């Protein structure tokens, strides 16, 4: 089962993902670190959100970062306009 299929088994999105978004999520979500750099309007927010949901379902995401120091090797960060 792909990361996208795993997430959609538990969560309903208000829209369908485009095939390129699914491929991106399925490729990058399982990685420890990944960057999402598509152009404006192509779905960085939804792709990183679905990836975060996948990591949460797989037990890879910490729900409360105050329990222990942040680990720079594990995380998800969305930075709008970082490539501008």
- pLDDT tens per residue across span 20-37: 999 999 999 999 888 888
Domain segments of the chain as ranges: 3-61
pLDDT less than 70: residues of the chain: 62-84
pLDDT score, position 6:
97
Report pTM: 0.73
- Chain centroid to CA 24: 9
CA distances 61 to 35, 54, 57, 71, 83, Å, are 16, 9, 8, 11, 26
């Amino acid at each position: 089962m792909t990361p996208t299929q795993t997430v959609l088994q538990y969560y309903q999105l208000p829209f369908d993902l485009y095939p390129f978004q699914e491929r991106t999520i399925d490729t990058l979500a399982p990685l420890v670190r990944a960057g999402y750099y598509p152009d404006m309007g192509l779905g960085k927010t939804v792709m990183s959100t679905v990836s975060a949901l996948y990591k949460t379902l797989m037990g890879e995401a910490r729900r409360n970062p105050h329990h222990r120091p942040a680990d720079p090797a594990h995380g998800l960060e969305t930075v709008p306009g970082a490539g501008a």
